[in-house]
């Protein structure tokens, strides 16, 4: 297969490239060359800007394209329309954030997506990100009707995750000592290893599969206690988990998903089913999941070597997510003083 990837050097994109090369496909990357341009020296690289700089794509043909870097519907529409007669199949990587709420447990692909009062808005914020992704999905499908695969991942984790959301917990547990953990060990969460997502997406592309698929995991109930226990086992640390109530965290202004990644207060009725999104359709289509320990081990090894790379942000810089050590210590002192 002759495959075009829009992006291809950051996180999911790089694992799509690796999976495609491992399966013997010919790969072309289209990007601005601003992130890790030294990757894949044997792969064809076309340079351009998705916002008005698509000239390098004209006059070429590929079997399929995977769009890993679309956030604005106008930009996605431009690439999809340009490629409509140049590819047989278009995959758009979207997000479960397209859903405006998660009031229902087990929400599937039939749920309505979010909308914007002004669909021409192009500022990507926490409020606009999901509806903009939904408009991007529609733009791709309109340009290639019946030939578009929409993948809606949840939290993607694993090596090269520059968001630091899952990496924070892997690193913090490995450091050992008393660790502030949110809520209780039995609360549910959902994650997907980037390598599992990439390999499944590529298999779907090979089959020219169209339609919309939620893609998170795993295929069993995963608790936050499972994640922390696995991190402790893999790193062989002496970490001790102090489970702090949701009420205390809210009272002390702890920011969900940012200061405590993966944590979403269950007191918010709109988020009750956030960690119970149905991926039955993707699982029936072959989505499979590696052992959690393998994900933790891969993340831990990558993070340990991260200071020697040019990946954003370097490990020596302030992490993008997680509690700062002083903030964690302050919260633990306050918790113990009242309990």
pLDDT at site 115: 97
Per-residue pLDDT tens over the stretch 66-114: 999 999 999 999 999 999 999 999 999 999 999 999 999 999 999 999 9
β-partners of residue 65 are 4, 90
Burial of 118 (0-12, 13-18, 19+ CB in 10 A): exposed
Q: What is the pLDDT of residue 318?
A: 60
Can you give the residue ranges of every domain in the chain? 2-153, 165-189+220-272+293-338
Which H or E element spans position 242? strand 240-244
d(CA 226, CA 30): 39
- Give pLDDT, residue 315: 45
Cβ–Cβ under 8 Å, residues 2 and 26: yes
Give me the pLDDT at residue 339, please. 66
pLDDT tens, 147-183? 999 999 999 999 999 899 999 999 999 999 999 999 9
**What is the distance between the alpha carbons of residues 231 and 301, in angstroms, rounded to a whole number?**
12
259-290 in b/e form (b: 16+ CB < 10 A) is: bbbbbbeeeeeeebbbbebbbebbbebebebe
- Angle (CA) 41 44 48, round 5°: 110
The confidence score (pLDDT) of residue 313 equals 52
Average pLDDT per block of 10 residues along the chain, 339 residues long: 96 97 98 93 96 97 97 98 98 98 96 96 96 98 98 98 95 98 96 98 98 97 98 98 97 96 92 96 98 98 78 56 97 93
CB 193 within 8 A of CB 166: no
Cα(286)–Cα(279) distance, rounded to whole angstroms?
11
Here the tokens at position 18 are: 């690796």
pLDDT number for residue 320: 84
What sign has the CA pseudo-torsion 214, 220, 221, 223? negative
End-to-end CA distance of the chain: 61
The structure's pTM equals 0.95
What CATH number matches the domain at 165-189+220-272+293-338, 3.30.2300, 3.90.25, 3.30.70, 1.10.1060?
3.90.25
CA-derived radius of gyration, the chain: 20
- CATH class assigned to 2-153: alpha beta
């Amino acid at each position: 297969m002759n495959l075009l990837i829009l992006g291809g050097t950051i996180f999911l994109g790089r694992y799509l490239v690796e999976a495609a090369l491992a399966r013997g496909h010919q790969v072309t990357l289209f990007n601005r060359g601003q992130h890790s341009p030294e990757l894949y020296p044997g792969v064809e690289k076309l340079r351009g800007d998705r916002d008005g700089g698509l000239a390098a794509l004209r006059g070429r043909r590929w079997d399929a394209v995977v769009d890993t870097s679309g956030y604005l519907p106008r930009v996605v529409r431009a690439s999809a329309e340009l490629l409509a007669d140049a590819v047989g199949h278009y995959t758009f990587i979207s997000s479960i954030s397209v859903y405006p709420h998660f009031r229902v447990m087990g929400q599937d692909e039939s749920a309505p997506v979010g909308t914007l009062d002004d669909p021409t808005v192009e500022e990507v914020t926490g409020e606009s990100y999901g509806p903009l992704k939904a408009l991007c999905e529609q733009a791709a499908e309109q340009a290639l009707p019946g030939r578009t695969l929409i993948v809606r991942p949840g939290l993607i984790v694993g090596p090269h995750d520059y968001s630091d959301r899952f990496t924070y917990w892997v690193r913090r547990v490995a450091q050992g000592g008393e660790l502030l953990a949110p809520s209780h060990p039995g609360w549910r969460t959902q994650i997907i290893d980037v390598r599992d997502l990439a390999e499944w997406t590529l298999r779907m592309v090979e089959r020219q599969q169209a339609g919309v698929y939620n893609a998170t995991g795993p295929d069993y109930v995963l608790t936050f206690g499972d994640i922390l226990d696995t991190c402790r086992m893999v790193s062989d640390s002496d970490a001790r988990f102090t489970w702090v109530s949701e009420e205390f965290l809210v009272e002390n202004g702890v920011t969900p998903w940012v200061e405590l990644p993966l944590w979403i207060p269950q007191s918010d009725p709109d988020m009750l089913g956030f960690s119970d999104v149905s991926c039955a359709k993707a699982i029936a289509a072959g989505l499979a999941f590696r052992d959690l320990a393998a994900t933790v081990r891969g993340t831990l090894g990558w993070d340990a070597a991260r200071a020697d790379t040019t990946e954003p942000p370097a490990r020596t810089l302030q992490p993008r997510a997680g509690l700062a050590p002083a903030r964690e210590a302050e919260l633990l002192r306050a918790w113990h003083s009242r309990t």
